[in-house]
Amino acid sequence: MKKEEQGSILIVVIIVSLLLSIAIMTGLSMSNDEMKATDQYYIKKATFYNTNAGLEDVRSEIYRDPSLNAVQGITREKNGTIDGNENKGKTISITGTLEDLDKYLNGSGAVSHVKPFNGFVAPPMPGMSLGTGTTVTPVIWNVTISSVTKKAKRQAFCEINAGVYSLMTTGY
């Protein structure tokens, strides 16, 4: 072996080690980004399902007692966790818009009530004739549910505005 070639293998090993280290760091960084994106997707999905569950709760309350006073008194204010595990995230849902939710979270607002939809008269249900002597009135209720899910520094918001069709009796 020539004197000037001594140590050349050491330089090659150091360069190869450097290249492998860069490749490993790049792979770990990409993996970390994928985990964050998956976690954010999970949080958004949980927020949507929590909002949808709130809408179904309100719909059930409307169907249980569709009278004007009962429905206009419906509010939803629910704090919880994802799958009962606080480490997966905390959820809050209310009746109202995202603006109402922001005020509620800052302590400067309250939840909204369900209101009748304004804009047009609800049509009768298919196959149902509502003559002048009937005491049944079709009503579309304007229901807005907003939710937030928070986990560590990440959070997701969702708002669903739906019309819930019901029949309200006005007397017998």
80-109 pLDDT, tens digit per residue, is: 776 666 767 788 888 888 888 888 888 887
CB 145, CB 111: distance < 8 Å: no
Rounded distance between C-alpha atoms, residue 46 and residue 38, angstroms: 12
- The pTM of the full predicted model, rounded to 2 decimals, is 0.71
Domain encompassing residue 26: 3-169
Q: What is the mean pLDDT of residues 135-146?
A: 83
114 beta partners: none
The 3-state DSSP class for residue 158 equals strand
Continuous segment of H or E residues that includes residue 19: helix 8-64
Q: What is the mean pLDDT of residues 99-126?
A: 79
Rounded percentage of the chain residues whose pLDDT exceeds 90: 13
Between 120 and 66, residue with greater pLDDT: 66
How many separate domains does the chain show? 1
pLDDT category at 133 given cuts 50, 70, 90 is low
Out of 33-47, 94-108, 115-129, 150-164, least confident range:
115-129
Rounded distance between C-alpha atoms, residue 58 and residue 79, angstroms: 16
